[in-house]
Structure 1
Amino acid sequence: MTIASRHEQELRAAARHINRRRFLTVTGAAAALAFATNLPGTAQAAELDARRITEDPFTLGVASGDPLPGSVLLWTRLAPKPYEPDSGLPRARVEVSWELALDARFTRVVRRGTVTAHPEFHHSVRADVGGLAPDRVYHYRFRAGTWISPVGRTRTAPAPGARINDLKLAAVSCQAYHDGYFTPYKHLADEDLDVVFHLGDYLYEYAVNATGGARAYTDRTLPALFNRETTSLEDYRLRYALYKSDPDLRAAHAAHPFVVTWDDHETENNYAGGTPENDVPPEEFLLRRAAAYRAYWENQPLRAPQRPDGADMRLYRRLSFGRLAQFDILDTRQYRSNQAYGDGWQLPGPESDAPSRTMMGKAQERWLLNGWHASRALWNVVPQQVTFARRRSVNDPKVSMDAWDGYPAARTRFLDGARATGVENLMVLTGDVHVSYAFDIKRDFENPASPTVGTELVTTSVSSGKDGADRPANYDRLMQGNAHLKFYNGRRGYTRITLGTKEARADFRTVSTVTTPGAPVTTAASLTTQAGKPGLELS
């Protein structure tokens, strides 16, 4: 029996002994699951001398994330055999050393240390390195025994209050392995960027067949264990191994620090809070959510405060880059009300319009407003998951119940809060829909003459949806039905954004194909918005 299988049995045994009514709240489930979660120290794992590792353990690459002015989080995971449930390592802890230097050749090392890779966390490694200079590029690597990892490049954030002229970032989302190659990441790795924001759907729970789906491998065969939907901890862990085996994804992580947030597919399509997509018992879904959240934390460059507690995980958080930008990273999946009218595209009505409906939950809403109130940044940027602006086809009143259109009261509270706290340069970054959009955010979307109060940039998918098209089939209907929609494109790629003291610029970078590797990247369009004068213009 594998470690993950034992873990699942422990969770299910605990669940059977918890009162069913208590499981009907996420909080109660989290407490129950946390009690049974296998954490380092509880299993008294033996120690493995890293010199006994006979195959390269750094097959999944390296990553860094959540840059602060004086620190950055470094990540890797030991996996000599990544497609096996135990990754080719025994149930033993391993000491791993790390180095941080001012140059890629490590002639000027400024920090070094050791951390423990615990089997309970699938031998993932994270080093929260402090005492660093702000706004500085660093290079890092790990060592386990005689093995040395690839070199990663990262960068700290500017000092609080620092006046900086520009910040270069990228937004990415939605990378279904079975829909194509991660070619956009190859080009992203070559960009001159300070940070990358991943807006969700880092993986998909759907089965991947032996030939890699649309990748149509002829020179390799994937193990059968990938050809099933992810439901257990072992499933989710293995799926991250598959995704991180992609060389372009590894290159992007090694080139830039990432700030990550999830959407639905990291767990299950269109789940809402504690409500699953399908009709399964709540305790069964929350066990699945606990497994998904744990595997997410194990495989992303996240700090200790983000470590999950059973089926709960505090993912929303705030990062600042001097006086230029504040980023309030949201979680619109874990705390939301269930989709109205059974989900999908529906006519809005009393159920979707109910004032009590929430996208973020009360605590996160208060946190966001408090952060805006205290912000002194020129640009207040909100990386989140689903389309914020109203989106309708011409002569069709239906809207998406999974997007903010299905939660209009929550959107009104969001916009009222931004207005009340004095946010002038509001920018929302979005993923999810596998296309690029550029929206003006209106105070009242029902009135085209309503003031424009911000900008929404929706980045397309890395691979989800396969190749796509420059003009999707509904292009004319959406452009005619939404006067505030300034750009629409259906190719794969990413969005490169430059925040400056006078304007922000968005370059929508796309590739022609992902079902075959190696496509070049082009800029489909560039738009700008002026500081102090919201509204997008093609440049």
Structure 2
Amino acid sequence: MTSEARQSQHAPELRTAARHIGRRRFLTATGAAAALAFAVNLPTAGTAAAAELDAARLTEDPFTLGVASGDPRPDSVLLWTRLAPAPFEADSGLPAQRVTVHWEVAYDERFRRIARRGTATAHPEFHHTVHVEVGHLGADRVLYYRFRTGRWISPTGRTRTAPEPGARPRSLTLAAVSCQAYHDGYFTPYAHLAADDVDVVFHLGDYLYEYAVNSAGGARNYTDRTLPALFDRETVTLEDYRLRYALYRTDPDLRAAHAAHPFVVTWDDHETENNYADDIPENNVPPEEFLLRRASAYRAYWENQPLRRPQLPDGPDMRLYRRLQWGRLAQFDVLDTRQYRSDQAYGDGARLPGPDIDDPSRTMTGASQERWLLDGWRSSRALWNVVPQQVVFSQRKFDLATPSRLSMDAWDGYRASRRRLLDGAKAAGIENLMVLTGDVHVGYAFDIKDDFDDPDSRTVGTEIVATSIASGKDGTEKPANRDTYLAANPHLRFYDGRRGYVTVELGREAARADFRTVPYVTRPGAPIATAASFVTAAGEPGLEPA
């Protein structure tokens, strides 16, 4: 069935029905939607919980899942925590009552110089998560924060605000991370990232995986603990997704990274379901079932990430794309290439190209997001224009044949959409374009070409692909297909198959990318090393070894 035919089945009333899940009535769009409404209860905060819990009655530590901050702006930052005395229980060990949480932000780690303090309410409707947007903090400051409820005090988090819009900071160091399948290994790279001196972390998708996790934790092969059977199933319902976030957040290295640095997050597919495209699921389930599943996944994502109020989902819809600035040094246009895309052409994997990939009616971003990005480039005053997003942007031929197979799930399957962005960047006069990517569980460094089929074509930007934190298990420095990929793609400057992350220092004269890798993740305690470093000069796109 064609993408257009499948999408025509998804009548607007189904999306409307999913948007209204949680209302105390049967949904009228379809019988299946009505039946699923009971499994996905998403009321507005305060509609079902008039009672307040006396926090003095909390006998177990409620801050088991740590703290986090995100989306730093010149005068504000978003602070997050979730109350969960029993994180592996559906109710997290709390009754369906409101809990008052005190928060404070300080200029020093000992909280002797308080910047702001206040209270927030942890609503049971949001699974006792707390999102606090703290303003009036001053620009370009390092800050410390913590929460308290009853006699319990959370771990201390470290965060920061961005510089003023007109400021000209000398540098910014970011980290890019992606793909952390719990069942594939330990999150050791996060332990090292927590100790790194970076200003902000960009998570580029696949924060969790929907697949079952067995009692031994998969490749973690626990011998000192047994995970509950409730994790040994695929995530489908709101309860499933909430519990899966709890499992991931119990990892101490992930908690340490969140506490050490502000995160800017965007999703890919596994936070909902593998390789979905807009409202088209991976498998042929009824559309109303997938929209309800998507609503559950999006709700749990917002609840468990340091996201601001504008990102609060409306049923199966959530505006995740957004823009952040770091003075005049950098503009970050965070994309969502999953929620609005056309269905993959010719299947989801590596396929020979056909005419559909050049069809201008097909899109990776949707028309509104594409227009937003191009308008943002036209008005940008930043030296570096950075695009954190999900799937490989540059052409990536899988073999030396002509024609070569390409990934239908990446931008190669949406070439007309990619062409519009490259033309838009050129029209806007963008000189220093950098794309940050995740998804593929390997580290790549690409020169972005105006014409990928012509090695002598003008280089118009840089793509840095962060390998996975754990997905793919241990990996290897030299994957079996590395020589083929390098020969088939002359613009590919680096390829490494180990786990880790990337740090990028953006400066006034140049940007430097360091690929940080660990030798294994299927057992804890791996050391970290820099596998390779590259620089690209401001105004002269193209990567060179550092």
Same fold flag (TM > 0.5): yes
Shorter chain as denominator, the TM-score bin is over 0.9
**Which of residues 269, 278, 282 is equivalent to 1:273?**
278
Q: Which amino acid aligns with 2:543?
A: L
Rate the CA distance shift 1:366–1:9 in 2: closer, same or farther, 3 A.
closer
Rate the CA distance shift 1:341–1:371 in 2: closer, same or farther, 3 A.
same
Question: How far did 1:45 drift?
Answer: 3.3
Q: How many residues align?
A: 524
Show the counterpart of 1:152.
Answer: 157
2:331 paired with 1:331: no
2:140 paired with 1:98: no
Q: Separation in 1 of the partners of 2:348 and 2:218? A: 27
Q: Separation in 1 of the partners of 2:440 and 2:81? A: 29
Q: Which amino acid aligns with 1:495?
A: V
Show the counterpart of 1:411.
Answer: 418
Provide the aligned C-alpha RMSD in A: 1.9
Rate the CA distance shift 1:36–1:50 in 2: closer, same or farther, 3 A.
closer
Q: Separation in 1 of the partners of 2:41 and 2:68? A: 30
Q: Separation in 2 of the partners of 1:530 and 1:261? A: 27
SS in 1 for 2:288: helix
Q: Which amino acid aligns with 1:238?
A: L
Question: How far did 1:38 drift?
Answer: 1.1
Q: Which amino acid aligns with 1:93?
A: R
Show the counterpart of 2:397.
Answer: 392
SS in 2 for 1:340: coil
Q: Which amino acid aligns with 1:133?
A: G
Q: Separation in 1 of the partners of 2:78 and 2:23? A: 33
Q: Which amino acid aligns with 1:120?
A: E
Q: Separation in 1 of the partners of 2:340 and 2:410? A: 14
Question: How far did 1:39 drift?
Answer: 1.2
Show the counterpart of 1:70.
Answer: 75
Show the counterpart of 1:456.
Answer: 463
Question: How far did 1:11 drift?
Answer: 5.2
Instruction: Summarize the alignment of residues 91-130 of structure 1 with structure 2, pairs less than 5 Å apart.
Output: 91-130=96-135
| TM-score, L = length of structure 1 | 0.95
Q: Separation in 1 of the partners of 2:25 and 2:457? A: 54
- Deviations 1:449-478, CA, capped at 9 Å, x for gaps: 110000000000000000000001101110
Show the counterpart of 2:29.
Answer: 18
Question: How far did 1:37 drift?
Answer: 3.4
Is the contact between residue 49 and residue 124 of structure 2 (CA under 8 Å) also seen in structure 1?
Answer: no
**Which of residues 429, 438, 441 is equivalent to 1:431?**
438
Q: Separation in 2 of the partners of 1:350 and 1:322? A: 42
SS in 2 for 1:486: strand
Is the contact between residue 185 and residue 470 of structure 2 (CA under 8 Å) also seen in structure 1?
Answer: yes
Show the counterpart of 1:474.
Answer: 481
Is the contact between residue 12 and residue 287 of structure 1 (CA under 8 Å) also seen in structure 2?
Answer: no
**Which of residues 254, 259, 262 is equivalent to 1:254?**
259
Q: Separation in 1 of the partners of 2:372 and 2:514? A: 31
Question: How far did 1:133 drift?
Answer: 1.2
Question: How far did 1:40 drift?
Answer: 1.4
Show the counterpart of 1:26.
Answer: none
Q: Separation in 1 of the partners of 2:19 and 2:409? A: 30
Is the contact between residue 173 and residue 198 of structure 1 (CA under 8 Å) also seen in structure 2?
Answer: yes
Instruction: Summarize the alignment of residues 82-481 of structure 1 with structure 2, pairs less than 5 Å apart.
Output: 82-396=87-401, 397-481=404-488
Question: How far did 1:44 drift?
Answer: 3.6
SS in 2 for 1:92: coil
| TM-score, L = length of structure 2 | 0.94
Q: Which amino acid aligns with 1:501?
A: R
Q: Which amino acid aligns with 2:537?
A: Q
Q: Which amino acid aligns with 2:360?
A: P
Is the contact between residue 49 and residue 98 of structure 2 (CA under 8 Å) also seen in structure 1?
Answer: no
Is the contact between residue 21 and residue 315 of structure 2 (CA under 8 Å) also seen in structure 1?
Answer: no
Rate the CA distance shift 1:10–1:458 in 2: closer, same or farther, 3 A.
closer
Q: Separation in 2 of the partners of 1:382 and 1:131? A: 28
Q: Separation in 2 of the partners of 1:402 and 1:36? A: 32
Show the counterpart of 2:6.
Answer: none
Question: How far did 1:394 drift?
Answer: 3.5
Question: How far did 1:448 drift?
Answer: 1.2
Structure 1 gap segments, 5+ residues each: 1-6, 24-28
Rate the CA distance shift 1:226–1:9 in 2: closer, same or farther, 3 A.
farther
Is the contact between residue 505 and residue 526 of structure 1 (CA under 8 Å) also seen in structure 2?
Answer: yes
Structure 2 gap segments, 5+ residues each: 1-17
SS in 1 for 2:498: strand
SS in 2 for 1:99: strand
Q: Which amino acid aligns with 2:441?
A: H
- Deviations 1:88-124, CA, capped at 9 Å, x for gaps: 0000000000010011111111100000000000000
Is the contact between residue 42 and residue 125 of structure 2 (CA under 8 Å) also seen in structure 1?
Answer: no
Q: Separation in 1 of the partners of 2:241 and 2:25? A: 21
- Deviations 1:252-310, CA, capped at 9 Å, x for gaps: 00000000000000000000000000010110000000000000000000000000000
Question: How far did 1:353 drift?
Answer: 1.9
Q: Which amino acid aligns with 2:377?
A: W
Q: State percent identity of aligned pairs.
A: 71
2:495 paired with 1:510: no
Runs of 4+ off more than 3 Å: 7-16
Q: Separation in 2 of the partners of 1:383 and 1:104? A: 30
Is the contact between residue 469 and residue 489 of structure 1 (CA under 8 Å) also seen in structure 2?
Answer: yes
Q: Which amino acid aligns with 2:469?
A: V
Q: Separation in 1 of the partners of 2:56 and 2:142? A: 31
Instruction: Summarize the alignment of residues 475-490 of structure 1 with structure 2, pairs less than 5 Å apart.
Output: 475-490=482-497
SS in 1 for 2:29: coil
- Deviations 1:321-354, CA, capped at 9 Å, x for gaps: 0100000000000000000012211111122221
Rate the CA distance shift 1:349–1:374 in 2: closer, same or farther, 3 A.
same
Question: How far did 1:393 drift?
Answer: 2.9
2:507 paired with 1:500: yes
Instruction: Summarize the alignment of residues 44-55 of structure 1 with structure 2, pairs less than 5 Å apart.
Output: 44-55=49-60
Q: Separation in 2 of the partners of 1:453 and 1:110? A: 43
